[in-house]
Amino acid sequence: MASVSGGGGGFDKVALISSGGGGFDKVALISSGGGGFDFRRRKTLKKAQAEESKMEAASSSFRKEIYTIEIVLAAANGGIKKAIKGIGEGDGVIIVDHGSRRKESNLMLNDFVVMFQEKTKYPIVEPAHMELAEPSIKDAFSSCVQQGAQCVIVSPFFLFPGRHWHQDIPSLTAEAATEHPGISYFVTALLGLHELLVDVVNDRINHCLSHVAGEEDECSVCAGTQKCRVYNEGS
């Protein structure tokens, strides 16, 4: 028997009552006024337990759902809805930059894609240039599909939003998708104001300062260019 109220009226104790089948299966509220058992508000324990289980199941389901991000993937056939928990075996990633007439700049994107794939272990990652160089977004999209991608994720290797992110890259990706019916795709956010970029920029600054002080070699970006040095006015 357990007390449920310290008040001076109404019911203040609970009695568990057996119906003879083993264990307790009913609840009776006992009045402090000496009126004995009152079954008008009794409730079977089985029903209470069922309701409690239902609430726990709903809570568990909700907790699982908050870790699942549902997004609408744009596709040539009108779009599909897919639960995303990370890159899977059926996903291909395209890292796309602007593209340059300088071969060295374009090759640097290839090096980044190799680094990216080695670190993330994503199965399908392709480089692409929006313009001026190959492979194009269309080429990279086809390459992803040929490797088994059912969803192509296009990640712009750009700092800040402009026409290329708002219009050009989505348009070129949509055009590429028309040749692959049933393949989903979407374009991610660009780099933007990501906190980790603060560390990247700071690391570059400090490395270059160490280089001009004679403490470090040139980084891979400046190697052979002789650009990482201190300039004086008139020099």
pLDDT in tens, 102-127: 998 899 999 999 999 999 999 999 99
**Cβ(27)–Cβ(11) under 8 Å?**
no
59 pLDDT more than 60: no
Count of CB atoms within 10 A of residue 126's CB? 23
Give the whole-angstrom CA distance, residue 45 versus residue 104. 75
Per the DSSP assignment, residues forming a β-bridge with 84 are: 69
Same domain, yes or no: 178 and 82:
yes
Same domain, yes or no: 130 and 92:
yes
139-149 mean pLDDT? 98
Whether the ω angle into residue 135 lies within 30 degrees of 0, i.e. cis, is yes
Count of CB atoms within 10 A of residue 211's CB? 16
The whole-number pLDDT of residue 123 equals: 95
Same domain, yes or no: 136 and 85:
yes
151 three-class SS: strand
Q: What is the CATH number of the domain that holds 79?
A: 3.40.50.1400
pLDDT in tens, 35-52: 444 444 444 555 656 666
Same domain, yes or no: 151 and 98:
yes
What stretch of H or E contains 170?
Answer: helix 169-177
User: Could you tell me which residue, 72 or 61, shows the higher pLDDT?
Assistant: 61
Same domain, yes or no: 183 and 105:
yes
Same domain, yes or no: 182 and 89:
yes
User: Could you tell me which residue, 202 or 104, shows the higher pLDDT?
Assistant: 202
Exposed, middle or buried: residue 203 (CB in 10 Å: 0-12, 13-18, 19+)?
exposed
Give the whole-angstrom CA distance, residue 156 versus residue 23. 65
Domain boundary among 65, 86, 110: 65
Lowest model confidence (mean pLDDT) among 71-75, 140-144, 176-180, 190-194: 71-75
200 pLDDT more than 70: yes
Domain boundary among 12, 46, 65: 65
Give the whole-angstrom CA distance, residue 35 versus residue 235. 104
Same domain, yes or no: 59 and 37:
yes
33 pLDDT more than 60: no
28 pLDDT more than 60: no
Give how many domains the chain has, as a whole number.
3
Q: Which of 110, 173, 101 is nearest to 131 (CA)?
A: 101
**Cβ(97)–Cβ(130) under 8 Å?**
yes
65 pLDDT more than 50: no
The whole-number pLDDT of residue 220 equals: 74
Same domain, yes or no: 83 and 173:
yes
Same domain, yes or no: 99 and 15:
no
Per the DSSP assignment, residues forming a β-bridge with 74 are: 185
Count of CB atoms within 10 A of residue 158's CB? 18
pTM greater than 0.75 (yes/no): no
Domain boundary among 65, 95, 115: 65
pLDDT in tens, 145-181: 999 999 999 999 999 988 998 899 999 999 999 999 9
31 pLDDT more than 70: no
Same domain, yes or no: 141 and 171:
yes
Give the whole-angstrom CA distance, residue 96 versus residue 136. 9
Same domain, yes or no: 167 and 235:
no
Q: Which of 156, 51, 135 is nearest to 93 (CA)?
A: 156
pLDDT in tens, 204-233: 899 889 888 888 888 877 777 777 778 777
Count of CB atoms within 10 A of residue 179's CB? 12
Q: How confident is the model at residue 69 (pLDDT cuts 50, 70, 90)?
A: very low
Query: Which amino acid is residue 230, in one-letter code?
Result: V
Give the whole-angstrom CA distance, residue 165 versus residue 163. 6
What percentage of the chain exceeds 70 in pLDDT? 63
Same domain, yes or no: 150 and 217:
no
Domain that residue 118 falls in = 74-187
